[in-house]
Structure 1
Amino acid sequence: MRTNLDFSPLFRSSIGFERMLNALEAAGRAETIDNWPPYDIIKTGENDYRIAIAVAGLSQDELAITQEQNLLIVSGQKDNGEDVQYLHRGIAGRSFQRRFELADHVKVVDAGLVNGLLTIDLKREIPEEMKPRQIEIKADEVLPKAETKQIEGEKQVAA
């Protein structure tokens, strides 16, 4: 059972969450979920993640990893240059493109292919100016007194 939610009230009362709300709306509209190739998303630390994708039968040259602003695209294209006659083909060799939405400041730090498993290591690196910082409270200083300005002068009444 799928329930469609209306996020329009949230758009009216929240600022800066448009990308997240649009992603939630898009997820609700998704009709078919492509589950090829199978993958895992693993949290390896407080700001560290790993994506492991089963790409059996594909070589390093047949895989591509592209990172755009908030999107990671992993694609594979099997090179079928050989003329091979299969009696049974149980290992999938089809092309794929898998997209992962990334949060702000998440970057790919490493990728490797071992035993048919493509691993992509990600790290969230929050810029120094966006990290919480402690504000010093000064106790002995007196703040300058604000000047008051008179906006209108006294009006003289004609007699």
Structure 2
Amino acid sequence: MSRVTPFSSPLLLGFDAVERTLERIGKTGDGYPPYNIERVRREDGEGVFLRITLAVAGFRPEDLEVTTEESQLTIRGRQSDDKEREFLHRGIAARQFQKSFLLADGMQIIGAQLKNGLLLIDLARPEPERVIRRIAIDVTD
């Protein structure tokens, strides 16, 4: 039985990548670490940028890795157990995670900082130049 997708119309050409992206988004379900995505006004008042904030308490900068590959932003956290510590109760696990975000074309990473147990990743989307192009129509007799 073949699967019917929203992009299976013969009028929608070249949307294969969008369909794969939507499938990949639908498969992500892990809620750790919790995160926010917010629109932040620049201090100079000239525009806005996006900020992803992840709660990564207990992670050191060397435990975290932020990378981009093509249009995917990936944040990884790896903590190792300290073998010299003896816990009477362990409620805070040394946990690993990987969180991925798909970025729209043109998105740029401004920077990342670790502040008070929160990893802040700032992103900007430069305004694209609006191009209107007139297409010449050839006339043949």
TM-score (structure 2 length as normaliser): 0.77
Q: Distance in 2 between matches of 1:105 and 1:8?
A: 23
Deviation, structure 1 residue 103: 0.6
Give the superposed CA RMSD: 2.8
| Residue correspondences, number | 131
The reply to whether residue 58 of structure 1 matches residue 54 of structure 2 is no
The reply to whether residue 36 of structure 1 matches residue 32 of structure 2 is yes
Match of 1:79? Answer: 80
What amino acid is the match of 1:7? P
Q: Distance in 1 between matches of 2:16 and 2:6?
A: 10
Q: Partner of 2:8: helix, strand, or coil?
A: helix
Match of 2:6? Answer: 7
Q: Do the aligned partners of 2:7 and 2:19 also contact (CA within 8 Å) in 1?
A: no
Higher helix share: 1
Higher strand share: 2
Match of 2:130? Answer: 132
The reply to whether residue 21 of structure 1 matches residue 22 of structure 2 is no
Highest CA radius of gyration, 1 or 2? 1
| Partner deviation per Cα, 1:15-37 (whole Å, 9 max, x = no partner) | 34332222223344x2x611111
Structure 1 unaligned spans of 5+: 136-145, 150-159
TM-score (structure 1 length as normaliser): 0.69
